[in-house]
Structure formats: C-alpha cells, structure tokens
Structure 1
Amino acid sequence: LPDLQKAFAAYLSGEDGAELALLVRGDSISAVARLRIHRHHLEQSLASALAATFPTVQALVGSEFFVAMARTFVAANLPAQPVLAEYGAGFPAFVGGYAAARDLPYLADMARLDWALNVAFHSPEAPRLAATDLEGLAPDRLLGLTLELAPGGALVQSTFPIDRIWQASQPGVDVPQVDLEAGKVALLVTRRSDDAAFVSLDVAEATFVRAILGGATLEAAAQAAFGVEPAFDLSTSFGRLLASGVFAALR
C-alpha cells in the first residue's frame, strides 16, 4: 500500500504514471483514463481553492488566465496540509516569476495582499490592545512597551498602489483609473470582526510599524518614525492603529 500511495502521489505531481497504471483496475474505463480523471479533478479542485484565496488576482487577469496559471502552480506544488485555506503560501512568489504575467508587474504584490487577507480571515479570535488598556500607565512604562500584531496580522508593502488596485477590483465598485506611478504603499492587514481588512500607512507610520515588528519599544519605534518624518504625530497615529485593533493585547 505505501508503494501504491507513493506512486499515486508522484502521478498527481506530474509523472507519467505508467507503472501506476499497472496497479490500477481498469474495468470499463482504462487504468490510464481513470488516472487522468483523478489528476484532472485534483487540478481543478486546487485551482478553485486558489481562486477563492486570490480573488483579486483572478479579477485582474480573468478566469481563463488564472486557471492556466493556477494549474501550472499546482503541478509543482501539491498541498502539504489537508486544509485548503492554508494552500497557496508560495503562489505570490510563483506569480512573480510567471512569464505570461510579466506585463503585470504589480500582480505578485496583489497576490501577497490576497494571501495576507486570507491568513487574517482564518486567524483565531484573540483579545486586542485598546487605548483603555493603556490608561494610567506611567509615561516611561508606556514608552517602554513592546507590542505584537494580533494573530494573522501582516505588513504588506509594494512599490505599486495595490490598495487602489484592490479597491478597483472589488465587485460593484466604480473607481477611477489607477495611476500605477502613484507611489509605494504600506498596508497593515488585520482581522476585523468576521472579516479581514487593511489599514493604509503613510511613510512614517510604516517605519513605526516595521520597528515595532522588529522588537523595538514604543519610544524607539517613534524615534525611527521621527527620523523619516519630523512631523510624525505619535499620539494620532498610534491612536488610529489602536482603534483599528491591529495589536495583540498585553500579556
């Protein structure tokens, strides 16, 4: 049985299956045809799973193009886990190297955003840090805090305006033509209630969040932000992030 399972997995990964066909009963359908049905069904199922995980990418390239791209990915990347929502972590990097998509240089970053939203959506509920949790803390204690993002949170950065591209790709949304030269963006993805969302950050806020993710204290992160934007307002920016529920509650 282990040999049969190994041969079947190899066939589903793209091998010709000649030896496997000898182990499969054909009945009214030949063994080769039966195996092809299994492989086609697998490719179709995984391509559909990828379409559900990367809806913005599919909206940008169209269903036919996406299916062809997804099946190419599937052929070399079978799931390592049984949960399909966890399948596709390597898809953004694959998209970045997919020759047929070279005229869409922002597509890999859109895939990264889709994946981050997927991870956030399926992340567990957990307590979030709120402004009220910090009331009464001495200034030195407050500025000495180190914070973590809530489960599923991620910082997605791009040289393209992927926030506007994402908005323009949503069903029923009428957005003016997106200027791809509009400049880079930084988006903080988080779970929000029963959905996932992102918060757009300016340059100073992105620097602040990167420092926080690197283990810096609140004070050190603020200093990093002041370094790129002297007018950075810690109270306003930190308050906005707290209101968005992006940080995990203090332990």
Structure 2
Amino acid sequence: MIKINGLSKSYGKNEVLKNISMMFSKGKVYGIVGENGAGKTTLFRCIAGLESYNGEIISEHSPLKNHLGLLLTDPFFFSKITGKEYIRLLCNARDKSNLELESKNIFDLPLNQYASTYSTGMKKKLAITAILLQENEYFILDEPFNGVDIQSNIILIEIILKLKELNKIVLISSHIFSTLSDTCDEIHLLRKGEQIKSVQKSEFKHLEQEMKEITIGNRIDKLEL
C-alpha cells in the first residue's frame, strides 16, 4: 500500500502540485495522465524521495525508496559503465548478487558495451531490466513506452501485467492511451498540478474521449486544411 495525503510541491512561487491525495493498493496498476507540465514527473519524484514536499506519503515498506524501482523518462548513466556493470550496480544496492545476466537479458542488449553508447530505446530497456532484477515491491515507470520499439513495448506490457499478478504496485505515465487501457486498473488525471479525477477501467473510453476534446478543441480547424 502507498497512501498520499495532501501532497503539495512548489518551486519558489510556482506551485506544481496542489493537495494531491491518492491510494495505491497491491496487485494493481495505476496510470497518471495529464498534459506536459501537469505534475506527473514531479509527483513520481516526490514518491521516490527525490524531492521535498508538504503533506505525507505512507507505505507499508519503509523507507519506501528502498523498495521502489524508478524508471525516469531519461535514465542517467555514467559515461564509463557497461550495461552489465549498470545492472550489477543497481542490484548490489538491493543486496542482489549471483545474477545470471545472460539468461535474463530478455531485450538482447549488448551488456558488455558502454551504456552511454546505447540508443534511447536501449537505455530505457537497460534501466527497466535493472529495476526488475532488483525485485522491488513498487514500480514507477515514467513514459516507459516512449522511444522503445514495438516488439519491446509488447514485452513491456506483459511485464507490467506479470508484476500485477505478483501483487506489486505499478504506477505508469504515458501519452499513449492504448498502453494504459491494456495495463491499468485505475487512471488519475492531473491538470496544472491539480488532481481532476480518478477513473476506473470501465470508464477509460470516456476519459480518452474527454482528453481528446480538451487537447484538440478547434486547433485542427485553425489550420484551414
């Protein structure tokens, strides 16, 4: 369980999260959606302990960050570290050793190559592999499908469903609504730092249509195509 009560976050006078309250339960996948700047990544960073905030975040595993696998939109890699060394570094942080990395390299990554030379999609797949092998209880995946090939996205969807089956908590942000429909049990909509609504799976189609109408409006007509 992760419970967020009255979470707010400001950078100077700019309030980017405003009194957010959410509850995440085991064995469920949650989507966090909203336009760029809505506060999704900031919310994830607060949960991961990377940002200070007002309010409280409660979890059954404490400290939460020691049980969390965090995939950032643009994962960071040291310049002189191979894919294999990167995975071992993250797994050592969770006291996981004696890994048979070759058999667990499901994305067929060149693990003996410097991670800094990887493509954007390869870097993301490397980071995903590492947090999975950490055996975390919670997972935050910030735009996991962006920049990744179709075949790997199919694998990633199945991984998320497997994590759900294993009773993990998974939080996802994505601008690709179909991936959320395929994986999520509940979606939370943020707009300008505010929590607008929470939607169950039966209402996903209505939410998608609402988001299209808000996003598109009469923009296409203005082009006079």
- TM norm. shorter chain > 0.5: no
- The TM-score, its normalising length taken from structure 1, stands at 0.26
Larger relative contact order, structure 1 or 2 (CA cutoff 8 Å, min sep 6):
2
| Richer in helix (by share) | 1
- The TM-score, its normalising length taken from structure 2, stands at 0.28
Report the structure number with the largest CA radius of gyration. 1
